[in-house]
């Protein structure tokens, strides 16, 4: 009997296994491939915590996996000396089993003597991140799988600075988890946990503190109070946790004319109106755009289930709505913030903007124009949060804005993760500000292209499920390292970067220099003329992703170049995955 078969049988025999999970395992008794996929490994725990398909098994998200991870976290906290008394904040979104997993995590922590702050209703990632710092917690947990399809859920762990835990902490937490046998992590009785004071239910008082802090990031609050009511917004929370915080914050700052997509208004973990609740997919905003057209809205906003990503659609005067990319939204917000601070004479000389290595280089051009330093970090907002904490700790730089191409934006740093609630507020303010100048956001983007250059970007993803898919992704990355491409289309590779080795190699001379960022399974190629291509496995989904960036003197030239590079990169990756 193989290891996975032994695990399968031991789970079937486990008396504390829930009836529905047991029935699920009995149903696959004759399906060896399915049994192997559920038990050949455990869900990996890393800087993004756990994430996987809901179901029975060690390679699935279920109550026993959540309990075990939580007891491991509790054991790690106990080793941190006095950390348990500082407590852990817990939030959850609208996904299937999110509320149940959140309560189980809270009660397992309580059983292990850890103070817990549990939200009474679903709350998004940015509010959890804010809450960790608000209560001076040692850690935080969010039960979410972000924008993944409905069959997924996840378990994110945050640290005391409000950002997701770092690699060393994740490694130590994983060691503690691995020392916890399955089915041995038990929850405290809920009534007992509340009576003992170890479980504290939180809500409005924390929300109000978050709204008050976030409002201080407005550039022209008086203008918004006076003219905000004239801005007409069509908004969709995509069945997630964004509805209350987004609508509430917008109302508080003066933007009260918000129409919500009725079919997507209420929380629903099945996400029945979309293929996936992901603002990166233009189809996710389809119903919101239809609503916007029917009511004559100025802008369309959409948030994913845990409200850390913001999607936006804009239109030229009298034209059809166009969905913006994450790079366009981030560049627009960055331009608005820096130009507003400059206009008011408040642009700090030590200002800092941070973006990921796969994010548009238009951001570099914007920062150069305003004399603001910009730094690149690895993909994952945790690396941006680390830069914020560094700014706070040293006082040498003032964090202004951070973003990723994957629709994640953050200003100020009250939260230390992507914050679609804050971004919705700032985007709305930008609408009002430019509208006073007779411009739409579409007009402003066109102006930005003329000012900073025509920067266009594309992303392609290849989803490969199961053990076989993971192996094919790994094989493709190995093949690229063994036979690095010399060119993509007509453009030669000038230098290539391998982040697993921290090496940048100049193609013509073979000169090797350090990249200067942490090791990661990433390959990046810089081409003639400033174009670039990056290949990396996703850290949260069974996907291989390629990112392409291009710029040229005209829009037509940029579009043609981007299309050529995307075609060539796609052909190469597909040949390696086949």
> Angle at Cα 155 formed by Cα 150 and Cα 156, nearest 5°?
120
Token pair of 446 as six digits: 């066109």
What dihedral angle (degrees, nearest 10) is formed by the CA atoms of 521, 526, 532, 536? -10
Q: Let me know if 356 is a catalytic residue.
A: no
The answer for residues whose C-beta is within 8 angstroms of residue 538's C-beta and 6 or more apart is 461, 544, 545
What dihedral angle (degrees, nearest 10) is formed by the CA atoms of 246, 218, 335, 563? 0
Which residue out of 94, 129, 146, 339 is catalytically annotated?
Answer: 146
Q: How far apart are CA 96 and CA 143, in angstroms?
A: 10
The answer for residues whose C-beta is within 8 angstroms of residue 351's C-beta and 6 or more apart is 338, 341, 372, 373, 397, 398, 400
Q: How far apart are CA 271 and CA 261, in angstroms?
A: 13
Q: What is the DSSP-derived secondary structure letter of residue 353?
A: E
Q: How far apart are CA 391 and CA 32, in angstroms?
A: 52
Neighbours of 269 (CB within 10 A): 21
CA end-to-end span of the chain: 31
- Render the burial of 397-409: b for 16+ CB within 10 Å, e for the rest: bebbbbbbbbbbb
Q: How far apart are CA 332 and CA 535, in angstroms?
A: 26
The answer for residues whose C-beta is within 8 angstroms of residue 469's C-beta and 6 or more apart is 463, 542
* Crossing angle between the packed helical segments 204-215 and 243-253, to the nearest 10 degrees: 50
CB 280 within 8 A of CB 411: no
Q: Which ranges constitute the DSSP H helices of 344-412?
A: 362-370, 381-394
The answer for residues whose C-beta is within 8 angstroms of residue 89's C-beta and 6 or more apart is 116, 117, 118, 119, 128, 131, 132, 135, 137, 139, 140, 141, 158, 202
Positions annotated as catalytic residues are 146
């Amino acid at each position: 009997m193989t290891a996975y078969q032994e695990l399968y049988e031991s789970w079937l025999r486990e008396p504390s296994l829930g009836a529905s999970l047991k029935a699920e395992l009995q149903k696959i008794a004759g399906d060896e491939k399915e049994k192997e996929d559920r038990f050949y490994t455990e869900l990996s725990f890393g800087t993004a915590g756990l994430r996987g398909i809901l179901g029975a098994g060690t390679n699935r998200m279920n109550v026993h996996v959540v309990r075990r991870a939580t007891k491991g976290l509790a054991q790690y906290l106990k080793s941190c000396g006095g950390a348990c008394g500082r407590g852990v904040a817990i939030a959850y979104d609208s996904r299937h089993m999110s509320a149940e997993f959140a309560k189980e995590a809270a009660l397992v922590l309580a059983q292990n003597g850890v103070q817990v702050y549990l939200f009474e209703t679903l709350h998004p990632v940015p509010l959890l991140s804010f809450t960790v710092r608000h209560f001076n917690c040692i850690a935080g947990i969010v039960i979410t799988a972000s924008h993944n399809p409905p069959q997924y859920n996840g378990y994110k762990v945050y640290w005391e600075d409000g950002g997701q835990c770092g690699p060393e902490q994740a490694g130590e937490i994983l060691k503690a988890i691995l020392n916890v046998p399955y089915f041995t992590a038990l929850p405290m009785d809920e009534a007992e946990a509340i009576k003992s004071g170890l479980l504290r239910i939180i809500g409005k008082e924390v929300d109000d503190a978050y709204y008050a802090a976030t409002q201080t990031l407005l550039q022209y609050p008086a203008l918004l109070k006076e003219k905000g009511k004239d801005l007409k917004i069509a908004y969709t929370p995509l069945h997630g946790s964004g509805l209350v915080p987004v609508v509430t914050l917008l109302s508080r700052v003066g933007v009260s004319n918000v129409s919500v997509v009725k079919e997507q208004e209420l929380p629903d973990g099945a996400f029945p109106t979309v293929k996936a609740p992901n603002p990166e997919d233009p189809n996710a905003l389809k119903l919101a755009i239809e609503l916007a057209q029917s009511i004559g809205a100025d802008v369309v906003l959409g948030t994913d289930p845990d409200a850390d990503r913001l999607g936006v659609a804009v239109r030229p005067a009298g034209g059809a709505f166009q969905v913006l990319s994450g790079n366009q939204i981030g560049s627009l917000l960055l331009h608005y913030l820096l130009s507003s601070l400059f206009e008011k004479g408040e642009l700090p000389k030590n200002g800092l903007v941070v973006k990921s290595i796969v994010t548009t280089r238009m951001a570099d051009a914007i920062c150069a124009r305003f004399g603001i330093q910009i730094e690149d970090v690895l993909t994952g907002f945790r690396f941006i949060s680390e830069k914020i904490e560094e700014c706070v700790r040293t006082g040498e730089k003032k964090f202004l804005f951070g973003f990723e191409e994957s629709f994640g934006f953050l200003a100020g740093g009250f939260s230390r993760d992507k914050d679609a609630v804050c971004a919705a507020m700032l985007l709305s303010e930008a609408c009002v500000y430019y509208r006073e100048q007779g411009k739409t956001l579409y007009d402003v983007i066109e102006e930005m292209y003329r000012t900073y250059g025509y920067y266009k970007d594309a992303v392609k993803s290849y989803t490969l499920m199961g053990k076989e898919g993971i192996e094919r992704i790994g094989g493709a990355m190995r093949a690229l390292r063994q036979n690095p491409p010399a060119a993509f289309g007509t453009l030669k590779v000038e230098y290539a970067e391998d982040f697993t080795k921290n090496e940048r190699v100049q193609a013509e001379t073979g000169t090797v220099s350090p990249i200067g960022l942490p090791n990661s399974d990433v390959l990046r190629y810089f081409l003639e003329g400033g174009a670039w291509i990056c290949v990396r496995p996703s850290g949260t989904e069974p996907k291989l992703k390629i990112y392409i960036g291009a710029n040229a003197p005209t829009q037509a030239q940029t579009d043609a170049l981007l299309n050529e590079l995307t075609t060539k990169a796609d052909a190469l990756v597909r040949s390696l995955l086949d």
